[in-house]
A and B are shown apart, each in its own frame.
Chain A
Amino acid sequence: MPKRKLDPLPSAAFQILLSLAEEDLHGYAIMRQVEEQTGGRMRLGPGTLYGSIQSLLEEKFIEEIDLGDDIKTGQERRRYYRLTASGRRLARAEAERLADLLRVARAKKILRGDYV
């Protein structure tokens, strides 16, 4: 049943996968990263953010990592998340799906330009 949550992949979940592509981040940093990579168009609220994280964790597309208390001096202990190999594959598949879509759009002259 939960599988349906990520099929089709919601754009919030896709953005989270992308945000984790280069480094491990905690929730707030993911939110900021997504805001940045969408030019401020998408600001994930806590419910959407953690709802998506939960689904991605369940499907093992991301994993939680414990950095320990030493980094954050105890008071602000945060959970960091890391992209798994299957998460990376999923993001790649989604990107390719979008690229296909883009090619169709160009073929139908909705969008101009030669390459994706």
Chain B
Amino acid sequence: MSEKIYALLLRLFPVRFRKVYAEEALQLFRDRSRDEKGFFPGLRLWFDLLADLAVSIPREYRHAEPSLVGASALHPMDGIPEFQLLETESPRPGTLFSGTILSLATFAAVSILIVHGGSSRPAPFWNSQAGHPNSARSTTSRTSSRQRSGNDQEKIMTPDGPTRDISSIETGDVQAGSVQSKHASAPDKAGLDQSSLVHAERPKPIDAAERKRVIDAAASNLKQYYFDRDVAQKAAEALKAHEASGDENAATDGEALAALLTGQMREVSHDTHLVMEYSRATLREHRSEPTAGELARYRTTLKDNNCFFEKVETLPHNIGYLKLNSFPDISECHATATASMAALNHADAIIFDLRDNTGGSPSMVSLIASYLFDHPEYMFNPRETPSQNSWTRSPVPGNRLADKPVYVLTSGSTWSGAEQFSYDLKMLKRATLVGETTRGGAHAGVFHRIDDHFGMGIPEAKIVNPFGNADWEGTGVEPDVKVKAGDALATAERLAANKLTRK
């Protein structure tokens, strides 16, 4: 198809040039499109070709050697001045038609470039927000025993679904105090939350009666839903004990109270997915389906951010580089994921940059991992009982990455689904982790609404870890090569290059 278009465009050249070089030019086009497969190389190829046509066609016409017309019919005589006609090639209708196509194609190419040029900027919210959430509210929760988990601006993951941050989708401008929430029965495919925000309000002062109501609800929810009865009992008792000693009296607003309670529960449970949330906006009651508007906004967010596939590049030494800032739902991002992996298929080694990745959908984790194995591999996920989606869909037809060296870059912000990807590849000895110890959040929290403003995330199941008892909950995933996050890429590049040249 594209070859035909190019053949058509070649008709724009003067006949003299075409006769000799059209076939060669087509051959070159075939060679390049064979070697430069994938979306971005393809785009570059066409950009090159169109720029080349724009420059070289006028030049060929300018230099086209005018042929003498009628010269042979004249009988030149010495001494007598004579005129000769120079034929200038006037464009034929076919040429004008091709010219129109060329203009349109150039216009389209420039438009595409403008759109894609914009996508390389960092994600404006959602992940970037959730990835660096140590804003106003988290200070109080640092009273909890572990620094790394001392942050309640977390995404909550359902046992069957991806991480969602409904507040950013809802309002488009996430505030430090807004809440991410998730109802237990939300369908995975919807990719959206059920309890959602109606409108933002100023924080209201909390009185003693409300404090008591929230603490009672938290204690009973813990005992009812938390997977470990023993821990649940202890955490509930801890809440009551703190209440009895009046520890919460200082918390006069909802955010402070939520942070305090989160800290108290974690002190006993050491579970970063156990969380109390306060939302300034009203938390809606259970709703079975997200509205069309929410879905549309969710899709727009993904589309605007290229599904958080921030960079797909080939580094020197033919090292493929993918910077992925989330593992978005495959129902929306399957095509982006497969295209990005196809664009890296030629690579001799591959670097996954998860330093700004705060997690997402286990189905996307499995999908991307599928390219790294030649047989179905179990991707352990502490949030989910094993299902068909827990195995990679390996081998992927046409894929050449199954035996290539893999490096995963991690940082202290790498979290949740991104930790699953790192942890599983590390335990399977399929990747070398380079960077910092990750943030350490493994358990899934199912969201339970308490009232209009309070709700809590509670892990309801504990999944057996095939690699041993401890996963990365609270401790994070240790890198194989420990360097500062800022140096991780350079280090991984060096490791990969060394490995490739040794071969």
Contact = CB atoms under 8 A, between A and B. Distances in A.
Q: Do A and B come from one complex?
A: yes
Interface of A: 1-2, 4-5, 27-28, 31, 43-51, 53-55, 76, 78-79
Most B Cβ at <10 Å: residue of A2, A46, A48, A51: A46
B28 A47 contact: no
Contact of A51 (B26, B29, B49, B56): B56
Contacts of B65: 1-2
A42 to B, nearest CB: 10
B31 A48 contact: no
Contacts of A55: 63
Contact of A54 (B21, B27, B28, B31): B21
Given A50-B25, A51-B59, A45 B49 contact: yes
A88 to B, nearest CB: 23
Contacts of A54: 17, 20-21
A78 B27 contact: yes
Interface in B4-33: 10, 13, 17, 20-21, 24-29, 31-32
Contact of B25 (A1, A46, A76): A46
A14 B366 CA distance: 51
The majority secondary structure among interface residues of chain B is helix
Contacts of A43: 48
A48 B447 CA distance: 62
Nearest to A43: B48
A50 B21 contact: yes
A28 B56 contact: no
Nearest to B49: A45
Which 7 A-B pairs have CB atoms at the shortest separation, nearest pair first?
A: A45-B52, A47-B56, A46-B25, A50-B21, A28-B31, A47-B52, A46-B28
11 contacts: A2-B65, A5-B63, A45-B51, A45-B55, A45-B56, A46-B26, A47-B13, A47-B57, A49-B28, A54-B17, A79-B24
A81 to B, nearest CB: 11
A47 B25 contact: yes
Contact-residue bracket for chain B:
20 to 34
B60 interface: yes
Interface in B268-306: none
B312 interface: no
Interface in B27-48: 27-29, 31-32, 48
The majority secondary structure among interface residues of chain A is helix
Contacts of A46: 10, 21, 24-26, 28-29, 49, 52
B53 interface: yes
B160 to A, nearest CB: 46
A1 B64 CA distance: 9
Nearest to B16: A54
Nearest to B57: A47
Most B Cβ at <10 Å: residue of A1, A4, A51: A51
A27 to B, nearest CB: 5
A43 to B, nearest CB: 5
Nearest to A30: B28
A78 B25 CA distance: 11
B53 A45 contact: yes
A49 B60 CA distance: 12
A50 B32 contact: no
Nearest to A44: B52
Contacts of B21: 46, 50, 53-54
Contacts of A48: 52, 55-56
Nearest to A31: B28
B143 to A, nearest CB: 54
Most A Cβ at <10 Å: residue of B10, B25, B29, B60: B25
Contacts of A51: 17, 56, 59-60
A28 B51 CA distance: 18
Contact of B17 (A4, A28, A50): A50
A92 to B, nearest CB: 25
A63 B55 CA distance: 25
A28 B32 contact: yes
Contacts of B26: 46
Interface string B394-406: 0000000000000
Contacts of B29: 46
B60 A28 contact: no
A78 B26 CA distance: 12
A104 B290 CA distance: 70
A57 B48 CA distance: 24
